[in-house]
Structure formats: C-alpha cells, structure tokens
Homo-oligomer: A and B are copies of this chain.
Amino acid sequence: MNTKIILRNRPNQTVTQDNFECIDADIEPLRSGQVLVLNQWLSLDPYVRGRMTERKSYAPSMALGDVVMGEGIGIVIDSQSDQFKTGDKVIGMLGWQTHAVMNCSAIKLIPEIPFSETWPLGAAGMPGITAWIGMIDICKPKAGETILVTSAAGSVGSVAGQLAKLQGAHIIGIAGPEEKCAYVQDALNFDYCLSYQHCNWLSNFNKYAPNGIDGLFENVGGTLFDSLTPQMNPYSRIAICGLIAEGLEEQLHSINLRTLLANRMLIQGFIVSDHVARWREIQKQLIDLIAEQKIQVYEKITENLQNAPQTLIDLLEGRCLGKQIIKLS
C-alpha cells in the first residue's frame, strides 16, 4: 500500500489543510525501466506553493488529484531497470508519499556525503545550489562589500549569506521573529540579522549598513523589496530568487530607471533548474564546505507524512527555521 497526499483543491490566497487529502492506494506494478522506491526523507520547499495554482509560470502547475510534488531521498526496493538495484539510495521528485514508482531517468544515486544523507535535499542540494547561483554568479560579493539576504533563516538564504561571508563581505540578514534573527546572527555567522517585524528596522538597517547595499539576494519581494532598493549602491546587483511575500497577486514595484542607469545596477531573475549542467560541480564544492564546517546547516526533521501540509503552511507563513524535512521511514 502507498500512502500519499494529493492536491484536493487549489488555495485562494493562503494555503490551508483543506487543500490537501491523504489517501491510501495500491502500488502499480513496475514497467520496464521503472523502480519502486521506499521514500525516507521528503523535502518541503516554498516553490510548491507556485505549483498549487494554475498560472503561466516557468513550470507547469500540479493537476487536481496529483500527488503533491516534492524532492525526496529513498531506497530502491524493487527494480525493473538495469541502472538501479535493490538497496540503492536515490534522490528525485518522489512526491508526498511513502512509496514512489519512478522512471529510472527521473532519479539519481545520491552523491557520496561524509555525514548526513539529508544534505542533498538542502544545503548540498537544490536550495544550496540555488544560493550558489544567486550569490556567487549574480550578486558576486567582494571583500568589504555589504551584502543583504532576505529570508536569511531559510534553506536558501542561510547558505547564500554564508557563501558571501566566505568571500569576505559584510553580511546582513533580514528575517521575521527575533529567535530566527538570533539564530542567523549567532549560528550562521551573519554580521547582523534584523527583524522586519520591528517598526524601527529600517533605521536599524541604516545603522548596520551605513555604506548602503552592494548585493541583494531577494527571497521575499513585496514591500520589503521596495524598502531596500533605495539603499542600493553604484554597481550593485540584485538577484531575484523568490517572492514568498507576494502570494498570488500581481504585485508591481516601482523602479527609477535614471537611478538604475546612473548606478549601473543589475537586476536578474534566475531559476536553479536552468543550471543542471553545473549541478554536480557546485554540489561537490558545497559538500566540502559543509564538511569543513565553513557552512553551517540546520535541518528541522519532522516525523510522519501527515505533518507535511502543516509544515508547508508554517514554512510559507514564516514560522520555520532552516531546512524542513519530513522523515517518512
């Protein structure tokens, strides 16, 4: 039997438990080239929100009744493929379920990891590689520059800021509650982390970033973005990675092209899936940095598939710290 969580209906504004349904179903027999995976670890990520809604985007929406999408790690327990054998540890879009029938082209062996096997779902996987592309390739931090990371306590922002710190930049994080900010500052070695929930955060910001912002790694959007852009310096770079605050509405932001031109600013949207060719090379560097403890990783592991909807809701509403993983077996 496979236990799975499907998309029952689409959210209006915010995601609710009602959007999901847990059902049990028989496991289909394997066809040639397929394997059966016993799912062990399920990653929860903000991009799932976008796929729950029907709209034109860079990736197709989920259909109603589909298993909710999510990356996972599992163990092959039956194989009709020459590429994988029983006992192999694999990673892929296994979904919110206990078992996955996968085409062999859609999974990979997990890389050699010195410590935790869950890293390839977080700091050494999609979120970490996202942080790398946005920070190293687009924000290009240099020693002495001031780099700002929004949603600094999240799985992407936490790695992005630490990567910039390793380049010698002055790193300021923005996060919600005080306990997240304390964590970002103390455990992740950001120079400061400010809570946007404080009414005086922007004047604090000017205190901690008196020289303006040279690079902005943007995970949030909304009014936070509009507060930050006037602080951008000449030759500054903005990497648009995510817009977790923007929900469904078409939100418009004002930019002053004269300032953008006079400051030679760069704004670049990016999506990690465009960079698959560099995946392994970047992943290897991230694994080394984590193993050497140059990048600190915080994973919050929750047991039981049934907790996936609430964990996603908490993640979208800013109540989570670090990488959210569900332990399935």
Contact = CB atoms under 8 A, between A and B. Distances in A.
A267 interface: yes
Interface string A104-132: 00000000000000000000000000000
A87 interface: no
Given A252-B254, A253-B254, A262 B225 contact: no
A251 interface: yes
B221 A262 contact: no
Interface stretch (A34-42, A141-149, A163-171, A269-277): A269-277
A269 B265 contact: yes
A262 B264 CA distance: 23
Contacts of A265: 267-269
Interface in A226-271: 234, 240-243, 246, 250-258, 260-271
A261 B253 contact: no
B258 A250 contact: yes
Contacts of A266: 266-269
Interface residues of A, number: 34
Secondary structure class of chain A's binding surface, majority of residues: mixed
Nearest to A266: B268
Contacts of A261: 240-243, 269-271
A115 to B, nearest CB: 33
Contacts of A274: 264
Contact of A58 (B250, B253, B256, B262): B262
A293 interface: no
A57 interface: yes
A246 B57 CA distance: 32
Nearest to A247: B258
B257 A246 contact: yes
B254 A254 contact: yes
B256 A252 contact: yes
A225 B56 CA distance: 23
Nearest to A56: B262
21 contacts: A58-B234, A58-B264, A221-B258, A240-B257, A240-B260, A241-B261, A243-B261, A246-B257, A246-B258, A250-B256, A252-B256, A253-B257, A261-B269, A261-B271, A262-B269, A264-B269, A265-B268, A266-B266, A266-B268, A266-B269, A267-B268
Interface of A: 56-58, 218, 221, 225, 234, 240-243, 246, 250-258, 260-271, 274
